[in-house]
Structures are given as C-alpha cells and as structure tokens.
Amino acid sequence: MSFPHHRPRRLRTTPALRRLTAEHRLSPAELVLPAFIREGLTSPHPISSMPGVVQHSTESLKRAAAEAVQLGVGGIMLFGIPAHRDATGSAGLDPDGVLNRAIADVRSEVGDELVVMSDVCLDEFTDHGHCGVLASDGTVDNDATLAVYAEMAVAQANAGAHVLGPSGMMDGQVAVIRQALEEAGHQETAVLAYAAKYASAFYGPFREAVDSQLTGDRRTYQMDAANRREALLEVELDLEEGADMVMVKPAMSYLDILADVAALSPVPVGAYQISGEYAMIEAAAANGWIDRRRAIEESVLGIKRAGANIILTYWAAELAGWLKE
Ligand code: PBG
C-alpha cells in the first residue's frame, strides 16, 4: 500500500493549526466604513436596498464615528446628500454644505483617532446625477469639472478631511487636486485616488443611498469591465499626478485587477466593496441561502488576499466587532 507523500490536510486538522498557518488575517485597522449623511435629517433614515445601512443625521453620524473609534476601525469615508441640487453641484463647494459640515463634525468628534476621508465627486450634488458638469451637448466636460473638483477638494481639506477620495474618473483629477491643496497650504492632506473605477451594475443600491437623479450611465468616464491592462495605465497616471494611495472599485468582480495593482503599486492599495456587493450577500443571507457571517468574512478576506491594504466595506464596524471577539 502506498501513501500520499504530501498531506496538506495535516495543517487543517484543528482550528488552532488553521489559525497558526493562516496566510492572511483581517484586522479592524485596515477597514474603512463608508457613511452617508443627508441634510435636514433629525434621525437616521434606512436604505431599503442596503439593510443595516442608513442615511445619517448629524447626531447619528457622530455616534457611528465614535463607535468606529471604539472598535479600532481604520477610517470613515463620508458621502453627503444635499437638500438642494443644481447643474454644477455648488452645494459641494459651500463650506456650510452637508458634506463639509459633516467632515468638520466628525473631525471634532474623533480628532486624529480615525482617518476621516471624504468623497470628491459631483454626482451627489448635481441635479442630473453625473460626476461632473455637463457641456452644451450633454456630455460630461472633463476639464470644466477639474476646476470644480479643485475647489471642492480645498473646501473638504478646510473642513478637516485627512484624506480626499476623488471618485469621478476625470482625467487629470489627482493632479489638479494636489496642486490646489498645495496652493491652499494643505500639504498634509492625502489623496486616495480611485485609480481603477469601473462602470458597474453593482453600484445600484448606492443610487438609492444618495437619492441619485442619474438617468443613463457613467460609461464615458468610468472604466469598461472588459479591460485589465488599462487599469495599470490609470494607476500609473495617478501615481505620476501625486496619488498617496490608489484604489480599485468594485472589489469582488475585480480581484484580478486588485492583484495586478497590488503587484506593482509602491503605495498602499485600497479596494471598495460596494453597495451591490453588500446587497447581494445581505439578500442571500436574509433568504437563508448563505451563512451571513461566514459569507461576509470570506468576501472581505478574499479582497485582502488579492492584495488590498485598505478595505472600504459597509460591514467595517460589524466585522471589527467580530474580530475583537
Ligand atoms: C461617486 C461614487 C459612487 C460610489 C462611490 N462614489 C457611485 C458611482 O460611481 O456610480 C459607489 C459606492 C457604492 O456603490 O457602494 N461619487
């Protein structure tokens, strides 16, 4: 009788052995909690397609941020939903606008205990729902948008954001934001570039989360799901333009991109597990089709294994709580 020469099962026999030999493990510090604040709310408002996620009021956002600190979460990424929208997204530039106030409120709540990040993009602020301003023919005008992003970035840095996350996929956005920050004396405000952001159906629930007015899609500015090589070009350009960190988004359908970027990036690599990824797992779990906690842990671990150093996930706080158990 001959025996197998190698028995990989040996290291799988007990939980302690599996724990000892695990190649990757998650920690709260690498997680970032995306959070929505809606102008005028006095109590949190549920988002039906993202059970467990809410549009925050000022008070509930501050509580969520304080809880994130307690749990050891690494950061929070803020998105604002203004009461009034216009063609150029001017509420995003207003120091008293919902997002800029939220940044200041969260900073005064958490100080430097939590990395405060904010979305630099116009889609939450425009009445047409696009990430930039429109040219007369209705297309998104890249260079006119850059000028707005520069102002928006300075407003967010003034409000106290540690890290800015330009998510609009305009060409040259990192460079203009970096330059505007330097000129305004915000040398220390970092830029997390959404380097490889794909036009994805999985953003669906986010539209409800921010009450988006968008009709149509973002295929003229976000990347095509068919492309892999192009992600490396986007990363290279963002690094040249001064990105401090780069991100891949969405995560689960783009783990090959994440692995490629992680293999070559000299700066920390983020991944954003987006609204549709959240909704799919929650919906399957609610139907009893998958084990919720195991599916969440496995999905986030997969993102880590593919090479992410920083993971944005709507489960950040809950997962951090489990990791502390
Ligand atoms: C754009 C932005 C979007 C998301 C984050 N930033 C929407 C989009 O690009 O269509 C989506 C995040 C998610 O789906 O969880 N400001």
How high is the pLDDT of residue 312?
98
Does residue 192 line the site of ligand 1, with CB under 6 A?
Answer: no
How high is the pLDDT of residue 143?
98
How high is the pLDDT of residue 239?
98
The verdict on residue 162 lying in a domain is yes
How high is the pLDDT of residue 250?
98
When divided into structural domains, the chain yields a total of: 1
Catalytic residue among 62, 249, 304, 324: 249
pLDDT digits (tens, 9 = 90+) for 277-322: 999 999 999 999 999 999 999 999 999 999 999 999 999 999 999 9
CB atoms within 10 A of CB 305: 14
Does residue 274 line the site of ligand 1, with CB under 6 A?
Answer: yes
Does residue 149 line the site of ligand 1, with CB under 6 A?
Answer: no
In this model, does residue 183 exceed pLDDT 90? yes
Query: How many Å apart are CA 263 and CA 261, to the nearest integer?
Result: 5
Host domain of residue 108? 27-324
pTM equals: 0.97
In this model, does residue 247 exceed pLDDT 90? yes
Q: The CATH number of the domain where 77 resides is what?
A: 3.20.20.70
Rounded to the nearest angstrom, the distance between the alpha carbon of 317 and the centre of ligand 1 is 20
Number of alpha helices (DSSP H) and beta strands (DSSP E) in the chain:
11, 10
The verdict on residue 173 lying in a domain is yes
Query: How many Å apart are CA 112 and CA 65, to the nearest integer?
Result: 12
Burial level of 84, CB count in 10 A (0-12/13-18/19+)? exposed
The verdict on residue 6 lying in a domain is no
Q: Given the CA of residue 206, which atom of ligand 1 is nearest to it? A: 14
Query: How many Å apart are CA 39 and CA 48, to the nearest integer?
Result: 19
Our answer to whether residue 249 is catalytic in this structure is yes
Q: Given the CA of residue 204, which atom of ligand 1 is nearest to it? A: 14
Catalytic residue among 62, 197, 304, 324: 197
Confidence band, pLDDT 50/70/90 cuts, at residue 1: confident
The verdict on residue 150 lying in a domain is yes
Residue nearest atom 8 in ligand 1 by C-alpha distance: 203
Our answer to whether residue 62 is catalytic in this structure is no
The verdict on residue 12 lying in a domain is no
Question: Helix H segments across 220-274?
Answer: 229-240, 255-264
Rounded to the nearest angstrom, the distance between the alpha carbon of 52 and the centre of ligand 1 is 18
Mutational test site, ligand 1, from 50, 53, 121, max ligand atoms within 8 Å of CB: 121
pLDDT digits (tens, 9 = 90+) for 121-177: 999 999 999 999 999 999 999 999 999 999 999 999 999 999 999 999 999 999 999
The verdict on residue 8 lying in a domain is no
The verdict on residue 301 lying in a domain is yes
Rounded to the nearest angstrom, the distance between the alpha carbon of 79 and the centre of ligand 1 is 9
CB atoms within 10 A of CB 210: 22
The verdict on residue 113 lying in a domain is yes
